[in-house]
Amino acid sequence: MTNSTPPKVITSSNQLAALVDDLSAQPAVAVDTESNSLYVYHERVCLIQLSTPNGDYIVDPLADLDLAGLADLFANPDVQKVFHAAEQDVAGIKRDLGCRVVNLFDTMWAARILGWPRVGLGSILEETFGVHTNKRYQRYNWGKRPLDPKALVYARRDTHYLLPLRDLQMEALARAGREQEAAEVFARLAETKPATNPHGPESFWRVKGVHDLTGREQAILWQLYLWRDREASRRDRPPFKIIGTKTLVALAQSRPRRLEELAEVPGLSSYLVRRYGETILELVARGMTSSPPEPPPRFPRPRKAVMARHQALRTWRRQVAA
């Protein structure tokens, strides 16, 4: 198998069933996923890339497939699943397939444990296999169909080299006596929680600068934030593609009352004023007479003795790590 061999795209149940049978007989399978978080409110896994020594495969979860067989594969302890930077992939797989992920190997974490100076996949592939990465598709919309054939070539690269990379790293971990340490890290990664929606009202107090606003400004921002979240969910678009968060904060601070005042707010284009201007003014007015949500509790600062022990432990950890 060479990197020029095109990946096989799986879009039918029969194809998937045959693939799962083949993968289940392998000792290890390389895995990666691509999602569409930059383009939608309700994120989902849009591609699942899989590689064995026999070939590269791309499963299309948007093709109305029954993914139960693939879920069984991820939970199969007899097949090692090899990822690079597994956390987000595992979280998305657990959310969308409703399964466990068992027997995991992470080439990024193996590189960290081995002390490699660069642990990004692009850097490792270039240094280890002489492969140069085309970064054009890093922000590609994996949820749109049909997929660009060149994007599929890019996607398969993320798993094509993972198994030979794992073999190199396993030998290096054994020589360094770090196998047990790596196994413990991999086991923790396998317990990553299913992904949850990063948006919603619960994210309000994570807005940058929200704690620097007055109570009245927070109340206005809260009304704007709730409305934007509902609009983003309804249109299935990321909230920042409705109106930017900095613009919402600027609106809360400027408290506009007339349409002409909106044109002076940074980030609020004439198109946004035409589309949402009246709504924004209504929300600002509502915020002028309402209250912000209760902020999350702030834990008291630890005593000086506790902080001193914490600093001593951090210093010790740095020395051991070095």
> Tens-digit pLDDT profile for the chain (322 aa)?
445 577 999 999 999 999 999 999 999 999 999 999 999 999 999 999 999 999 999 999 999 899 999 999 999 999 999 999 999 999 999 999 999 999 999 999 999 999 999 999 999 999 999 998 778 888 999 999 999 999 999 999 999 999 999 999 999 999 999 999 999 999 999 999 999 999 999 999 999 999 999 999 999 999 999 999 999 999 999 999 999 999 999 999 999 999 999 999 999 999 999 999 999 999 999 999 999 999 888 778 888 899 999 999 999 999 988 8
Nearest Cα neighbor of 227 from 297, 296, 285, 294 is 285
Q: Extract the tokens encoding 115.
A: 């002390």
CB 29 within 8 A of CB 23: yes
Return d(Cα 284, Cα 280) in angstroms, integer.
6
Is 0.85 topped by the overall pTM? yes
Element (H, E) at 190: helix 179-190
What is the reported pLDDT for 208?
A: 94
What is the reported pLDDT for 3?
A: 56
In 3-state terms the chain splits into helix, strand, coil percentages (rounded to 5) of: 55, 10, 35
Non-local CB neighbours of 229 within 8 Å, separated by 6+ positions: 199, 200, 201, 239
**Which segments of 69-226 are extended strands (E)?**
80-83, 104-106
Return d(Cα 62, Cα 145) in angstroms, integer.
9
What is the reported pLDDT for 4?
A: 57
What is the reported pLDDT for 18?
A: 97
